[in-house]
Amino acid sequence: MRAALRSGRGGLSQAQWPDCSIPCYLGVLPAALETAVTAEMDSRNNRMIDLALAQDGFADAIGALQQQLDPGRLGLVMGTSTSSIDRTESGYRSLDAAGRFTSPFIQPRVHSPHAPGDFVAERLGIDGPCMTVSAACASSAKVFATAKRWLDQDLVDAVVVGGADSICLSIIYGFHSLQLVSPDPCRPFSPDRTGISLGEAAGFALLTRNDNATGIRLSGAGESCDAYHMSSAHPEGLGARLSIERALKDAGLATTDIDYVNLHGTGTRANDEIEGKVCAMFNNSRTVLSATKGWTGHTLGAAGIVEAVIAMDALCTGLLPGTMNTRQSEAPFHLLLDNLERPTRHVLSNSFGFGGNNCSLVFSVA
């Protein structure tokens, strides 16, 4: 990801999804098909998770950490929106003559909202508290907030957090039915934006309680649920504003302390307009903002972890990613169109989902 951001290489393509006739651009992860999991737990989502756990030696690092902790003191919080519904779709397309799942698809642990958490706990041998959060597109941002509470309450000494969502026909046709899928690569905050581009991803991070640690820390988390509408945000963005304000308060920071904001920035008319109203609070000489879904597509339940990692990487490298595909902005703040490099100390990442689920995270250099 870091190399792709630096070189300006996006992940959207016009490759057609099997059995799908909707014209759209997708952020597809073909490498997910190259991994293998047990037949009992096999699904595209779990294959992506397995691939993500192998990146950067993450699974090995968790194994080493477990040697230092008491059993049960390592927790897990996974975020997902659709879980392994891709596998369930395949099962329904392969029913036998009696209308029942054929044997490869009789997988009770896969056809479950908790499938990602169950799979990761087994894969990493985690015996501590395990939770799967399904809160639409805020799911894998909320995992950080949950983990922070667990650590603050001394329930655990460390928490693996992650998120995963794979592309499936349900999400493509579902978002198309809401007239939200763009036939072109998404252009967040562009005057001529036409909707979202969908993507898939899996990612992980580790949170520990160590006040003397150097590096990156989760300095603030804010959540809200405005419950204004099943699929539309409050027109004034009241829930989104509240989550940002709570995250800043939790971190003890003001808007002018934030160097970079990773916007939810889906590229739909309504979302960008509402988020623009809310994030006008960051219209100052210090803060730059960008939306990165033009690079990855909207990865739904994995968007929170993907964009949190992008925000944290900005703290590590000083590389602030531009808003890919957007050449003109109508945002009421400094929307970064092209990559920028500069020292960064505090970043904020927004994730706003259906049902009024909102989460904002502040990461800081310790």
Catalytic annotation, pick one of 130, 168, 186, 264: 264
Average pLDDT over residues 202-212: 85
Amino acid letter, residue 44:
R
Question: In the structure encoding, which two tokens stand for residue 73, read together?
Answer: 């003191």
Band the pLDDT of 214: cuts 50, 70, 90: low
Per-residue pLDDT tens digits for 147-193:
999 999 999 999 999 999 999 999 999 999 999 999 999 999 999 99
Q: Would the pTM count as exceeding 0.85? A: yes
Per-residue pLDDT tens digits for 294-340:
999 999 999 999 999 999 999 999 999 999 999 999 999 999 999 99
Domain spanning 2-365: which superfamily?
Thiolase/Chalcone synthase (3.40.47.10)
Residue 211's φ and ψ, nearest 5 degrees, are: -65, -20
Catalytic annotation, pick one of 279, 298, 346, 359: 298
Domain positions in the chain are: 2-365
Per-residue pLDDT tens digits for 75-129:
999 999 999 999 999 999 999 999 999 999 999 999 999 999 999 999 999 999 9
- Chain Cα centroid distance, residue 28: 15
CA–CA distance, 140 with 339 (Å, rounded to integer): 25
264 annotated active-site: yes
Position with higher pLDDT, 335 vs 1:
335
137 annotated active-site: yes
- Nearest partner of 204 among 94, 279, 283, 117, judged by Cα: 117
Q: In the predicted model, is pLDDT for residue 211 greater than 60?
A: no
Beta bridge partners of 365: 216
- Nearest partner of 263 among 276, 252, 251, 250, judged by Cα: 276
114 annotated active-site: no
- Write down the mean pLDDT value for the chain: 95
Catalytic annotation, pick one of 137, 186, 279, 359: 137
- Nearest partner of 262 among 338, 184, 335, judged by Cα: 335
DSSP-derived 3-state class of residue 207 = strand
CA–CA distance, 303 with 81 (Å, rounded to integer): 10
Q: Is 31 exposed, middle or buried (0-12, 13-18, 19+ CB in 10 A)?
A: exposed
CB-CB contact of 261 with 268 (8 Å): no
Per-residue pLDDT tens digits for 39-50:
999 999 999 999
